[in-house]
Amino acid sequence: MILIAVGNTHTLVARRAEGPHWEKERFSSTLPPPQVRAQLPQHWHEYWQEEPAYIAGVVPQQVAAWKQELAMLQLPSWDPERFHQLLPNHYSPPQSLGFDRRCCLLGAQRMISGGSALVIDAGTAITIDCLHQDHFLGGQILPGLRSQLRALRQDTALLPDLEGSFPSHGWLGNGTEEAIFAGVWHGTLGALGSAISHFQKHYPGGRILLTGGDAPTLAAALPAAEVQPDLLLDGFFQLVRAGSSSEKD
């Protein structure tokens, strides 16, 4: 099985055969699908010919481009709305819950077996979602680290365009660039720390799962969190399996 998960910044192309491990490659979501396929290792050519491919994501134009690129291959139908049967919730409207959040929640649900989890997906946006006893309780959305940097550049006249690395070395910066990095870094940690504190107060013993492109950057500052790099893929796999079953029923 091949899964193609299109994010705002990166696209994951992954294959799962037997067992829980993924063979995966990551590309910029701005790359056209033919270029992505051309850059995959040579042995992927056989995978495309032999295995079904499932495509989903949060960038409709790129999802459509992938479907057009792979139209001659195996593209089985499946029901992504099956999520709301697998994980009861009150999200409104239901279809507005992003594909990436659905997948991460399903991946977490499988890990915690009826317990509690705070799922932090740190990417272009940072999402913080709460799961308790197989129910999705709701969440928060805030800009990701680099989204905050871009917003400051785009919405101000004089602040610079920054591409440096986090974390900041201190909570105060002696210079505009240092001050921006400090503000974005510590502001993000403050938001995450507040969410974690609330979660631990209401669900002591629950697990905090950290995933997404910036998870390795944030992990050292969030010692209570477990980094789970394949949470989205694991949930995508579960959603496909459940959605494919519903198509057969």
pLDDT tens digits, one per residue of 70-88 = 998 878 777 878 888 899 9
Q: What are the Cα distances from residue 56, in Å, to 8, 65, 86, 105, 114?
A: 12, 11, 18, 16, 27
- Phi/psi region, residue 97 (left: phi>0; alpha: psi -120 to 50; beta: rest), is beta
- What pLDDT is stored for residue 249 in this prediction? 47
Mean per-residue pLDDT, 208-234 = 96
Structural domains for the chain: 2-76 (3.30.420.40), 91-236 (3.30.420.40)
Query: What whole-number distance in Å separates Cα of residue 116 and Cα of residue 130?
Result: 8
pLDDT bracket for residue 170 (50, 70, 90):
confident
Instruction: Name the residue type at position 189.
Output: L
Mean pLDDT rounded to a whole number for the chain: 92
* Residue appearing with tokens 């198509």: 247
Q: How many CB atoms lie within 10 A of CB 96?
A: 7
Per-residue model confidence as pLDDT tens digits over 137-152: 999 999 999 999 999 9
Whole-number percent of the chain with pLDDT over 90:
78
- What pLDDT is stored for residue 84 in this prediction? 87
Per-residue model confidence as pLDDT tens digits over 10-39: 999 999 877 778 999 999 999 999 999 999
Catalytic residues: 100
Query: What whole-number distance in Å separates Cα of residue 123 and Cα of residue 105?
Result: 15
pLDDT at 66 over 50: yes
Per DSSP, the three-state class of 3 is: strand
Say what angle helices 145-155 and 176-202 make with each other, to 10 degrees: 130
pLDDT at 7 over 60: yes
Peptide bond into 93 cis (omega under 30): yes
pLDDT at 116 over 90: yes
Beta strand 135-143 with 125-132 is antiparallel
